[in-house]
Chains A and B, each alone.
Chain A
Amino acid sequence: MSATELLIELILMPLVAFVVGMMMVLMMRRIAAKLQRRIGPPFFQPLYDIVKLHSKKTQVSHGLIHDIGIVMAMGGYIAAETLLPVPGMNGIAEKGGIITLLYLMMIPSLGLALGVGQCANPNGSIGIARALTAMLAYDIPLVIVVFGVAYAAGTTNLIDIIAVQQAGGFETWGATQMPLLAIAGLIAMHASLGKQPFEIYIAPAEIATGPMVEMGGKYLGGLFVMQCFQLYTTSVLYVCLFLGGGTNWFDFLLKSFLVLAIPMSIAYLFPRYRTEDLLRLMWKWPVMLGLIGVAFVFV
Chain B
Amino acid sequence: MGSIKQIPVVEAKRTNPLARVFDDLVRFCRSRSLFILHYCTGCGAIELPPAMTSRFDMERLGIQPMVSPRQADILLITGYVSIKTLKRVILTYEQMGSPKYVIGICSCTVNGGMYWQSYATAKKLDEYMPVDLYIAGCMPRPEAVIAGLQQLMDKIHSGEASSWEDYYRNYDYYLGNQQKLFGEDWQTPTDVISEAKHYDLLSEGTLGDHTRLLEQHQKPLEALEMRLGHEQEEPAK
| Residue B49 at the chain A interface, CB threshold 8 Å | no
Asked if A272 lies at the interface with its beta carbon under 8 angstroms from chain B, I say no
CB distance from B73 to the nearest CB of A (A): 8
- Whether a CB of chain A sits under 8 angstroms from the CB of B67 is yes
Q: Is B70 a contact of A55 with CB atoms below 8 Å?
A: no
Q: A49-B33, A213-B68 are in contact. Are A38 and B26 (CB under 8 A)?
A: no
Selected interface stretch from A29-37, A99-107, A289-297: A29-37
A88, CB-defined interface residue at 8 Å: no
Cβ-defined contact, B60 with A204, below 8 A: no
Cβ of A168 under 8 Å from chain B: no
Is the beta-carbon distance between B57 and A38 smaller than 8 angstroms?
yes
Given the interface pairs A33-B59, A39-B57, the reply to whether A56 lies near B97 with Cβ below 8 Å is yes
Chain B residues contacting A60 (CB-CB under 8 Å) are 70, 95, 97
The yes or no answer to B87 lying at the interface (CB within 8 A) is no
Write the A33-62 contact mask toward B (1 if CB under 8 angstroms, else 0).
Answer: 100111111101101110111011111100
B42-58 contact mask (Cβ, 8 Å, vs A): 1 or 0: 00000000000111010
B50 to chain A, nearest CB (A): 12
Question: In the complex, how many residue pairs between chain A and chain B have their CB atoms under 8 Å apart?
Answer: 101
The complex places the Cα of A56 from the Cα of B55 at a distance, in Å, of 31
One of B33, B70, B96, B99 near A45 (C-beta < 8 A): B33
CB of A214 within 8 A of CB of B68, answer: yes
Contact A55 B226 (CB under 8 A): no
| Docked CA distance A220–B71 (Å) | 7
Instruction: Tell me, rounded to whole Å, the shortest Cβ–Cβ distance linking A237 to chain B.
Output: 29
Main secondary structure of the interface of A (DSSP, over half): loop
Q: Which residue of A lies closest to B64 (CB)?
A: A41
CB of B124 closer than 8 Å to a CB of A = no
Q: With A33-B59, A57-B99, A216-B97 in contact, do A38 and B53 touch (Cβ < 8 Å)?
A: yes
The answer to whether residues A48 and B62 also contact, given A55-B26, A216-B97 and a CB cut-off of 8 A, is yes
Q: Report A117 CB to chain B, min CB distance, Å.
A: 14
**Chain A residues closer than 8 Å to B155, beta-carbon distance:** none
Which residues of the other chain, B, contact A220 by a CB distance below 8 angstroms? 70-71
A64 interfacial contact with B, CB 8 Å? yes
A63 within 8 A of B: yes
- Chain B residue contacts of A216, Cβ below 8 A: 68-72, 96-97
Q: Kindly provide the distance from the CB of A160 to the nearest chain B CB, expressed in whole angstroms.
A: 43
- CB closest chain-A residue, reference B22: A55
A172 on the B face (CB < 8 A): no
6 contacting pairs across A/B (C-beta < 8 A): A36-B53, A38-B59, A42-B32, A51-B26, A52-B30, A204-B67
Nearest first, the 3 A-B pairs at minimum CB distance are: A216-B70, A58-B97, A38-B57
- List chain A positions with a Cβ less than 8 A from chain B: 29, 33, 36-42, 44-45, 47-49, 51-53, 55-60, 63-64, 204, 208-209, 212-217, 219-220
